């Protein structure tokens, strides 16, 4: 028999509600700084790659350690606020991505458990339908659609030659 119940840990209703409330609180806390960029905007403004981030960080370092070498035409207070915000968001995004990965892994195990249990139920239904037990024939017909074997595509005219 295959592995079943790979994830038998389930959140209580209270914990689900707490997690949903935390997500709402996070959405509210970040509402003032979140934007929906169009694909064109993302392409236009999202051009800062890893090399350019290193460049920005180096300019930030020079401004912090040797401000006399910095351009007077740059609003350095705003530059530093932007730099700090980017670093904070990057850290939060990293943590959220880690959480999302863990949640996807847990969901994958629950999906697997559900599918294995559904296969066991389908086998039972097939058995009971074969014994003419009441209601199982209709259930079997309804579930059988998920196990139809696809036929190979018809040969093309070139294959017949």
- pTM listed for this prediction: 0.73
Inter-residue contact 83 to 60 (CB < 8 Å) = yes
pLDDT at position 75, please? 98
Decide if pLDDT at 160 tops 70: no
pLDDT at position 116, please? 94
Inter-residue contact 52 to 59 (CB < 8 Å) = no
pLDDT by residue (tens digit) across 43-101? Answer: 888 878 899 999 999 999 999 999 999 999 999 999 999 999 999 999 999 999 999 99
User: Which alpha helices (H) appear in the chain, and where do they start and end?
Assistant: 13-30, 39-45, 50-65, 76-130, 136-144, 157-160
pLDDT at position 159, please? 64
């Amino acid at each position: 028999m295959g592995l079943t119940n790979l994830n038998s840990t389930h959140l209580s209703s209270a914990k689900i509600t707490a997690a949903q409330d935390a997500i709402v609180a996070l959405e509210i806390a970040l509402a003032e700084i979140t934007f929906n960029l169009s694909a064109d905007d993302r392409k236009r403004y999202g051009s800062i790659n890893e090399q350019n981030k290193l460049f920005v960080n180096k300019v930030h370092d020079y401004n912090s350690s040797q401000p006399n070498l910095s351009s007077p035409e740059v609003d350095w207070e705003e530059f530093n606020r932007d730099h700090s915000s980017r670093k904070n968001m990057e850290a939060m995004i990293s943590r959220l991505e880690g959480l999302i990965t863990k949640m996807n892994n847990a969901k994958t195990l629950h999906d697997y458990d559900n599918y294995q249990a559904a296969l066991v139920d389908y086998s039972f239904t097939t058995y009971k339908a074969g014994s003419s037990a009441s209601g199982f024939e209709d259930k079997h017909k309804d579930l059988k659609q998920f196990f139809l074997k696809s036929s190979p595509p018809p040969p093309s005219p070139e294959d017949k030659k």
